Amino acid sequence: MNEIKDLARGAIERRRQDVIDVGDRILHMPELGFKEYRTAGVAKEFLESLGLAVRDRIALTGLKATLDTGRPGPTVAVMGELDALVVAGHPLADRETGAAHACGHNGQIAGMLAAAIGLSEPAVLAGLCGRVVFIAVPAEEYVEVEYRRDLVRSERLHFLGGKPELVALDELADIHICMMVHLAPMEHRAGVAESNNGCVVKMVRFLGKASHAGGAPHDGVNALNAANLAMQAIHAQRETFRDEDAIRVHPIITRGGDIVNVVPAEVTLETYVRGKTLEAIFDAEAKVDRALKAGAMAVGATVEIETLPGYMPLQNHAELGDLFLANVAGMFGPDSIKKDGHRAGSTDMGDLSHLMPAIHPYMNGITGAGHSVDWTVTDQGAAYVDPGVAMAMTTIDLLGNGGQQGERIVNEFQAPMSRDEYLEVQRAVFRTEAFGPE
Ligand SMILES: [Zn+2]
Ligand SMILES: [Zn+2]
């Protein structure tokens, strides 16, 4: 196995500059979720240059390329996310859309392509069985919610995130194990957390009554006051959240009124409700709904609460995580890796971890804070090349040696949900409720 791993690493290292170039090229063309057509085009071209057949325009912008050994065995997906997010003022932000790669997804695509170089090397492929599917996934960042909700309403999408959409389209039916690498600023080369929060998303509209803010405020119903009271009422829930549930509720007001001399008649707010388990999320979101209604009730406004499915909590597969970290330790030494506990952010890799063995490790090469203006790729080799090497090596662990290890992990895995159960839970989150005076 070590020999095959060395061959894969050597193949990737020989094309090191190409991997760095593609990572940087995508860095400079950030696109938002479900709009990543150009980024997908770059990935497609690269995969085709390796002789892989690519099927694209899956879930609007996603693509898949299959590397088949021709021998029976499990199918491993190596994934990368295509999208950027809006970070106003980021030095590399797109001038028109404000999109910037301040979460490092450009590095994910570079890493996935690097893994494809290593695994498609003929001498490597000859030592493997089963199949590897490279998947460029749209829209992990849960942004531009109204745009995506309209795509759902017009039946162009089932869900608002890329991986849930792939599940809904049954594009992962043939995948047994999946992996990706997310970048993060950290001291260690690589880390794997035990778990991540899941979330639901709320789009909220307070409706009051406009009136002259100076001359006749008594004739109005102030929707901004309703929203402010609701935010306070949400804060009053926080002492009821248990530490172990890692609840995060972080509303923003997206429209606070129209002109200053009119009592605001319509105010909108968005929030996620995150937590470590589905049970904890559903408990917290009921409290959030109650708080939103309390704000409306206090001033006699109406509140419309639209709840949208977010992402499932992530449970990293422990053994896969260990295999991954062992490969990084093999490259950079035993002190280069770290295991973490729970992380409070959310990712739609959580959804896949309910269906199959999945890992979402972190690797470095970055400075600055995630989703901020100072997020910078400082070591392209670490951010673009090494994740590809580590994923190729982990895939070799699974599919080398007759595919025994991969086969065993797949057989032993007890999925928390079937695909049907997953779709039922996520679909049930979609609801709109209105509360107000008769
Ligand atoms: Zn992000
Ligand atoms: Zn991210």
Cα–ligand 2 centroid distance for 375 (angstroms): 12
For residue 131, the CA-to-ligand 2 centroid distance in Å is: 26
Confidence of residue 138 (pLDDT cuts 50, 70, 90): very high
Q: With 90 as the cut, is the pLDDT of residue 275 above it?
A: yes
C-alpha of residue 104 to centroid of ligand 2, in Å: 6
Residue-level pLDDT at 118 = 98
CA of 351 to the centre of ligand 2 (A): 15
pLDDT, tens digit, 9 for 90 and up, residues 71-120: 999 999 999 999 999 998 999 999 999 999 999 999 999 999 999 999 99
Domain spans of the chain, in order of start: 2-196+313-422, 209-300
The stretch 244-262 carries a mean pLDDT of 97
How confident is the model over 36-40, as a mean pLDDT?
A: 98
Q: Which two tokens stand for residue 169?
A: 């389209």
Reported as a pLDDT band with limits 50, 70 and 90, residue 253 is: very high
pLDDT at 225 over 90: yes
Looking at every residue in the chain, the average pLDDT score rounds to 97
Q: Which fold has domain 209-300?
A: Alpha-Beta Plaits (3.30.70)
How far does residue 359's CA lie from ligand 2's centre (Å)? 14
- pLDDT, tens only, 302-318: 999 999 999 999 999 99
Residues 352-399 have pLDDT tens digits of 999 999 999 999 999 999 999 999 999 999 999 999 999 999 999 999
- Of the listed ligands, the closest to the CA of 105 is 2
Check residue 88 and give its pLDDT: 87
Token reading at 252: 């923003």
| pLDDT-based confidence at residue 438 (cuts at 50, 70, 90) | confident
- Of the ligands numbered here, which is closest to the C-alpha atom of 184? 2
Residue-wise pLDDT tens digits, 255-265:
999 999 999 99
Q: What is the CATH number of domain 2-196+313-422?
A: 3.40.630.10
What pLDDT score was predicted for residue 39? 98
Quote the ligand 1 centre to 6 CA distance (angstroms): 32
